[in-house]
């Protein structure tokens, strides 16, 4: 299964992927943990590991997917805000 086939992971796919031999790597790639902040990246990996080890259910899978999506969105928003602040500060320094 190619990770680029499906842009967004869902609970059913997450349940199926945990049967893979390298489930941790595959799932975290599909959840796009590298697009998260460092703490969220680690937190998500711990959640996935616990999910794989505990044989979690659909509700748990849905929660992991939703939290991963929210963490990526938050990181993107923070990144954009930082870039805008830097540009604004840079513009003010040029004017002064």
pLDDT in tens, 53-80: 887 788 888 888 888 888 888 888 888 8
Query: What is the reported pTM?
Result: 0.65
Q: What is the DSSP letter of 35?
A: G
Average pLDDT over residues 17-41: 83
Query: How far apart, in Å, do the first and last CA atoms of the chain sit?
Result: 56
> Where are the chain's structural domains?
11-95
- Residue 94 confidence (pLDDT): 59
- Residue 93 confidence (pLDDT): 62
Q: Tokens 């928003």 belong to which residue?
A: 77
């Amino acid at each position: 299964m190619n990770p680029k086939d499906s842009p967004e992971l869902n609970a059913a796919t997450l349940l199926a992927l945990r049967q893979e031999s390298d489930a941790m790597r595959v799932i975290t790639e599909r959840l796009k943990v590298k697009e998260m902040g460092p703490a969220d990246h680690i937190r998500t990996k711990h959640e996935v590991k616990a999910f794989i080890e505990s044989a979690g259910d659909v509700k748990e899978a849905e929660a992991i997917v939703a939290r991963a999506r929210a963490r990526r969105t938050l990181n993107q928003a923070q990144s954009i805000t930082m870039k805008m602040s830097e540009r604004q500060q840079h513009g003010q320094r040029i004017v002064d």
